[in-house]
Structure 1
Amino acid sequence: MKPSIVADISLLLVALIWGSTFVIVQNAISFLEPLSFNGVRFALAAILLGLWLLFFERRQLKALNGKLISAGIILGVFLFIGYAFQTLGLLYTTSSKAGFITGLSVVMVPLLTIVLYKKPLGLNACLGIAGATAGLYLLTITDITSLNIGDGFVLICAFGFAFHILFTGKYAREFPSLALTVIQIAVVSVLSGISAFIFEDWRRAFNPAVVLSTEVLSALLVTAVFATGAAFLIQTNFQKYTTPTRVALIFAMEPVFAAITGYFWAGDRLSYSAAAGCLLIFAGMIVAELPRNLLKWPVSVKKGADTEA
């Protein structure tokens, strides 16, 4: 099987993990505030992967240098921006609008690719992006209200996730995956902890009655192992075999999996428009995966320019 196909399937698994754990995270943060939750969640994941690195992948430790550490810090900062500003935005805007704006990273990634790397998009990628964006709107927007400061915060979050995808694609080709993953999630943990100390009641994170409650402990363990450690290791390891635009489109499936999980596990209602949105996102991902020579622009792309699928 081609490496790009294996990569896309692996990244789809990541979107499935994130989407399917949304319900338990949503439940847990009603007991432990979001920044505190992320601080503990990412710390546990960093410790687990750090032990794996120390005992089973020591050869990667030899690759530790200033460039690798800097790359991990950059990825960690962008990832923290995504999580932190999404949390901040939700204080002022609706979850449906936040979901749609966060999903706009599916548009931001290819646009940033064009601006930063001068790579025009193939027709299949453009059609896939258009379909996924329309699907995100149908899936997430349940009310139309005027823009507010919360929407601006969530837009910053979307840029954070978009830049994280772009730079993961860049650094994944240069540095060992496990070491790079450990550094970035450790950075998210530290920044989340500092932010929780400033903005939240951080003492709850050290309260055994809260942390050891069934809702919080189970969510921390599941998200630390699967939705953080395994997920970001998979992304860092496999993104080198695909393009940032395809990664963004695959990750647009996360709210689809979240909606399906919520429907079966939490009894959430899935409207006809939401169902249509799920189908459009899925169709957009499939169209983007079509061979480049199957769908072409009417006017040929400038000779010598690389076209991103």
Structure 2
Amino acid sequence: MKKTLFADISLLLVTFVWGATFVVVQNAIASLPPHSFNAVRFLLATLLLGGWLILFERKQLSHLNRKLLFSGVIMGVWLFVGYAFQTVGLLYTTSSKAGFITGLCAVMVPLLSIILLKQRPSKNAVIGVVIATVGLYMLTMTDMTALNKGDVLVFFCAIGFAMHIIFTGKYSSKYPSLLLTVIQIATVTICSFMFSLITEDYMTAFSPSVLFRSEVIFALLVTAVFATALAFFAQTNFQKFTTPTRVALIFAMEPVFAAATAYLWINERLSTSALIGCLLILAGMLFAELPMGKGFLLKKIKQRKKAV
């Protein structure tokens, strides 16, 4: 119980860091293109954790095999999908909207788990999706900016993050946390560099005049150290003590932190209808994750009787 509680608190802190960095990233990608930004961000995180692995946790390297490598790459690919769509999407939408749309991954996790694990959806999951969908409509269709390309891109990012949560839950308990984390963020680094070379003017992006701008340096350091290296090591390490559904519920707080920091830092405001939409999305996330219903209560009562 103590491990689960500590894991939940740690993951909540990770969620706060992710939510708080939406504005920081949005400011940075105005100068440094999205894939180039992610490439440098994840490269720095890979070097940081990779160096720690070699210097202090070298014994974990003895566990390296094809299965572990494959697991880390799968996690990294889905993580890349999430960050690629999210960072590009931030070019066209606001931090608050991006945070709430990203938070839809909390609803997607139980649904995608159902598909992958061949389990029937619960009533809560279905109702939660309906509520969140209505909220998404109010957030994106009735706001002044309406539905834009950025909102659609961030929606696909939510799918990527949902898949990452599912596979992290599947693999995190099987392999050493630090080694698995290094492999997945190294995968994101490679994918980001590849897409940067293909889709962006990397010669300009990686020039000193861009990389050494104050807002870019600040964003890279904050996101590489806190929102990437430490955050994903914490997720990989602590998710083994909880469930993907519980993690998704905790991550549902990310859009709340994103909207709060956007308001505090750049006074970014949402319209009344958009604010109601945000609240409905959050309600849908929570409803989809909370174990409610008579069947659940009866199951818990039976478990307690058996324990007694």
The answer, yes or no, to whether TM exceeds 0.5 is yes
Distance apart, 1:246 and its partner CA? 2.1
Matching residue of 1:307: none
Matching residue of 2:42: 42
- Cα 1:283–1:108 change in 2 (3 A) is closer
Matching residue of 1:253: 253
Residue 12 of structure 2 contacts residue 250 of structure 2 at CA under 8 Å; is this kept in 1?
yes
The residue type paired with residue 79 of structure 1 is L
- Cα 1:198–1:173 change in 2 (3 A) is same
Matching residue of 1:4: 4
Matching residue of 2:65: 65
Matching residue of 1:23: 23
1:180 has 2:180 as partner: yes
Residue 122 of structure 1 contacts residue 296 of structure 1 at CA under 8 Å; is this kept in 2?
no
Return 238-247 or 165-174, whichever deviates more: 238-247
- Cα 1:130–1:72 change in 2 (3 A) is same
Residue 109 of structure 1 contacts residue 248 of structure 1 at CA under 8 Å; is this kept in 2?
yes
Matching residue of 2:294: 296
What is the percentage of aligned positions where both structures have the same residue? Answer: 61
Secondary structure class of the residue paired with 1:269 = coil
- Cα 1:281–1:10 change in 2 (3 A) is farther
Aligned length: 297
- Structure with greater helix share of residues: 2
The residue type paired with residue 42 of structure 2 is F
Task: For 1:118 and 1:86, locate their aligned partners in 2 and report how far apart those are by CA, in whole Å.
Answer: 29
Secondary structure class of the residue paired with 2:233 = helix
Distance apart, 1:2 and its partner CA? 2.7
Matching residue of 1:191: 191
What does residue range 156-171 of structure 1 map to in structure 2 within 5 Å?
Answer: 156-171=156-171
Alignment gaps of 5+ in structure 1: 302-309
Alignment gaps of 5+ in structure 2: 300-308
Task: For 1:234 and 1:145, locate their aligned partners in 2 and report how far apart those are by CA, in whole Å.
Answer: 36
Return 130-139 or 17-26, whichever deviates more: 130-139
Distance apart, 1:51 and its partner CA? 0.8
Task: For 2:191 and 2:48, locate their aligned partners in 1 and report how far apart those are by CA, in whole Å.
Answer: 19
The residue type paired with residue 168 of structure 1 is T
Residue 99 of structure 2 contacts residue 256 of structure 2 at CA under 8 Å; is this kept in 1?
no
Secondary structure class of the residue paired with 2:174 = coil
Residue 45 of structure 1 contacts residue 224 of structure 1 at CA under 8 Å; is this kept in 2?
yes
- Cα 1:7–1:285 change in 2 (3 A) is farther
Return 258-267 or 246-255, whichever deviates more: 246-255
Distance apart, 1:145 and its partner CA? 4.7
Distance apart, 1:32 and its partner CA? 0.6
What does residue range 204-243 of structure 1 map to in structure 2 within 5 Å?
Answer: 204-243=204-243
1:14 has 2:14 as partner: yes
Secondary structure class of the residue paired with 1:43 = helix
The residue type paired with residue 296 of structure 1 is K
TM-score by length of 1: 0.82
Matching residue of 1:304: none
- Cα 1:163–1:213 change in 2 (3 A) is same
Secondary structure class of the residue paired with 1:173 = coil
Task: For 2:126 and 2:241, locate their aligned partners in 1 and report how far apart those are by CA, in whole Å.
Answer: 20
